[in-house]
């Protein structure tokens, strides 16, 4: 007899697979949930592991099948996401080209390339499928459910999961080490906050609050300085960018959350966090000193190999410059050193595009009274993106799936805002009895009168 958790997960997974054939957006949510929960690493997933099932693969297959079968239009316009998709394709091509331009093909490169193209394919599909307010909201709650599960697993984790006082091996493959797990939690907490803001029912708000508490507590158990710095930067941005309609409420909520978060910390956590500002520690702390040395090694590596040493080869190549094998501990340096300067330029352009797309989309949503929820989702996404980028400066996240999801969600938000904006304009113009084409083409009537229209921006 299977455990109850095993049965419940199997039923949920099967239901989402079936639902994705009718609405492939459910397949995206299924994949995101599996990524966080990772049943094969849990005790209740042992019976499923014995069956040899690859849940993420099946979720992706059903999502692609639903995408091909679906006849529902999902693009807000023909140019939406065009350059973003070209960027994804270019990075994949460069990654595989690094087999020839790098220092040699090996098993580590093979594993990295296999993960990279699958990750980029899912990001491509997600950018096409998540294009409505409902889909975005459901995806937010998928993150909430996953964070609540991860937070609870961290809360009940046995001592064997801790190494040198830091929590490890919780959730999916990207969370095997405390730094990756903590940075993911720090970046997802703003999305949990966005779910709290857009929820209208008290029990949903309560669920988001409990999830935030469990998620932050798990981050504290990781004792990760990069996650703390990223979350601190995200919190500052959240306070500065709080949307005007609910600014006081948001600032008050941030203050209450900060006070509650402080109660979850302990002296050991603060002892490690305060080393960031201690000049003596910066000179003696092995992790900090080694990180600075490795960054210098990475810059020398870029100078010697401007086209990159090849995907997955950074750690192996550090032995040629340093006395031991070390990770890059920097997302941008990891990209440039392994895939070359052209890939670094593309990556930075995509990153800047995500920020700019969010800024413009939030401005558009703020001007449209019909999209308040989308404005707050954009607000949470902006904070999440800042958190991930700042934390990513001190740890490598270039090959992490959830990092690319956060970079892609601004495109999804833009499509949702544009779709609702166009629908409201259609409805208003239909009530006047006029033709729809000029309104859809030029973006809506000007304030001076219904007969005049102003051109609107076309988002790439």
For residue 380, the tally of other CB atoms under 10 A from its CB is 26
Q: Give the chain's radius of gyration (CA, Å).
A: 23
Helix segments in 368-400, DSSP class H: 372-392
Query: What is the DSSP track for 85-98?
Result: HHHHHHHHHHHHHH
Q: What is the pLDDT of residue 429?
A: 61
CA–CA dist 81, 78 (Å, integer): 9
Q: What is the pLDDT of residue 207?
A: 96
Q: Which residues contact 139 (CB under 8 A, 6 or more apart)?
A: 25, 28, 29, 32, 130, 409, 412
Cα(first)–Cα(last) distance of the chain, in Å?
53
CA–CA dist 455, 443 (Å, integer): 6
Of 208, 262, 209, the closest CA to residue 232 belongs to: 262
At 167, give phi and psi (nearest 5°). -75, 135
Contact 195, 140 (CB under 8 A): yes
Residue carrying structure tokens 């889909």: 135
Q: What is the pLDDT of residue 57?
A: 87
Contact 28, 140 (CB under 8 A): no
Q: What is the pLDDT of residue 445?
A: 39
Q: How many residues in the chain?
A: 460
Per-residue pLDDT of the chain (460 residues; tens, 9 = 90+): 788 888 999 999 999 999 999 999 999 999 999 999 888 888 888 888 777 778 888 898 999 888 888 755 444 344 566 889 999 999 999 999 999 999 989 999 999 999 999 999 999 999 989 989 999 999 999 999 999 999 999 999 999 888 888 998 888 888 888 899 999 999 999 999 999 999 989 999 999 999 999 999 999 999 999 999 999 999 999 999 999 888 999 999 999 999 999 999 999 899 888 887 766 665 566 667 678 888 999 999 999 999 999 999 999 999 888 878 888 899 999 999 999 999 999 999 999 999 999 999 988 887 766 668 899 999 999 999 999 999 999 999 999 999 999 999 999 999 998 887 776 666 666 666 554 444 333 344 343 444 443 433 333 3
Q: What is the pLDDT of residue 176?
A: 81
For residue 245, the tally of other CB atoms under 10 A from its CB is 13
Query: What is the domain partition of the chain in residue ranges?
Result: 1-69, 79-283+316-422
DSSP character at residue 446: E
Q: What is the pLDDT of residue 424?
A: 64
Type and span of the H or E element at 453: strand 449-453
Q: What is the pLDDT of residue 431?
A: 62
Query: What is the DSSP track for 108-158?
Result: HHHHHHHHHHHHHHHHHHHHHH--SHHHHHHHHHHHHHHHHHHHHHHHT--
Q: Which residues contact 187 (CB under 8 A, 6 or more apart)?
A: 230, 234, 384, 387, 388, 391, 402, 403, 406
Q: What is the pLDDT of residue 164?
A: 83
Query: What is the DSSP track for 38-96?
Result: -GGGSGGGHHHHHTT--HHHHHHHHHHHHHHH--S---SSTTTTHHHHHHHHHHHHHHH
Q: What is the pLDDT of residue 71?
A: 57
Residue carrying structure tokens 């995806």: 139
CA–CA dist 385, 194 (Å, integer): 13
CA–CA dist 123, 105 (Å, integer): 26
User: Under DSSP, is residue 174 helix (H, G, I), strand (E, B) or coil?
Assistant: helix
Residues facing 449 on adjacent strands: 446
Q: What angle do CA 319, 320, 323 make, to 5 degrees?
A: 45
At 289, give phi and psi (nearest 5°). -60, -45
């Amino acid at each position: 007899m299977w455990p109850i958790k095993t049965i419940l997960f199997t039923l949920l997974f099967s239901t989402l697979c079936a639902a994705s054939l009718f609405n492939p957006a459910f397949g995206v949510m299924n994949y995101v949930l599996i990524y966080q929960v990772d049943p094969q690493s849990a005790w209740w997933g042992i019976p499923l592991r014995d069956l040899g099932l690859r849940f993420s693969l099946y979720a992706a297959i059903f999502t692609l099948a639903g995408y091909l079968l679906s006849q529902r239009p999902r693009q807000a316009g023909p140019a939406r996401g065009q350059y973003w998709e070209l960027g994804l394709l270019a990075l994949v091509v460069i990654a595989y080209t690094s087999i020839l331009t790098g220092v040699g093909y090996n098993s580590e490169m093979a594993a990295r390339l296999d993960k990279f193209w699958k990750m980029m394919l899912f990001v491509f599909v997600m950018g096409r499928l998540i294009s409505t307010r409902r889909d975005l909201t459901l995806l937010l709650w998928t993150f909430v459910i996953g964070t609540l599960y991860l937070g609870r697993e961290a809360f009940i984790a046995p001592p064997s999961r801790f190494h040198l006082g830091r929590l490890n091996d919780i959730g999916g493959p990207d969370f095997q080490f405390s730094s990756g797990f903590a940075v993911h939690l720090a970046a997802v907490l703003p999305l949990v906050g966005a779910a709290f803001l857009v929820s209208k029912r008290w029990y949903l708000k309560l669920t988001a609050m409990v999830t935030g508490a469990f998620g932050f507590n798990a981050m504290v158990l990781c004792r990760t300085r990069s996650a703390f710095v990223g979350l601190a930067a995200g919190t500052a941005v959240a306070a500065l960018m709080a949307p005007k309609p609910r600014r006081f409420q948001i600032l008050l909520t941030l203050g209450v959350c900060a006070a509650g978060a402080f109660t979850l910390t302990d002296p050991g956590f603060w002892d490690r966090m305060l080393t960031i500002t201690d000049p003596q520690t910066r000179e003696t702390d092995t992790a900090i000193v080694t990180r600075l040395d490795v960054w210098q090694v990475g810059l020398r590596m870029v100078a010697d190999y401007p086209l990159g040493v090849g995907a997955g080869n950074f750690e192996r190549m550090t032995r040629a410059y340093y006395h031991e094998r070390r990770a890059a501990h920097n997302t941008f340096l990891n990209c440039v050193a392994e895939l070359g300067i052209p890939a670094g330029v593309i990556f930075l352009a995509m990153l800047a595009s995500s920020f700019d797309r969010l800024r413009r989309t939030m401005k558009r949503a703020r001007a449209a009274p019909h999209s308040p929820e989308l404005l707050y989702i954009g607000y949470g996404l902006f904070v999440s993106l800042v958190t991930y980028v700042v934390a990513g400066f001190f740890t490598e996240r270039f090959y992490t799936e959830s990092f690319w999801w956060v970079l892609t969600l601004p495109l999804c938000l833009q499509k949702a805002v544009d779709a609702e904006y166009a629908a409201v304009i259609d409805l208003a113009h239909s009530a006047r009895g006029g033709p729809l084409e000029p309104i859809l083409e030029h973006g809506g009537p000007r304030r001076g009168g219904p007969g005049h229209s102003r051109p609107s921006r076309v988002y790439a």
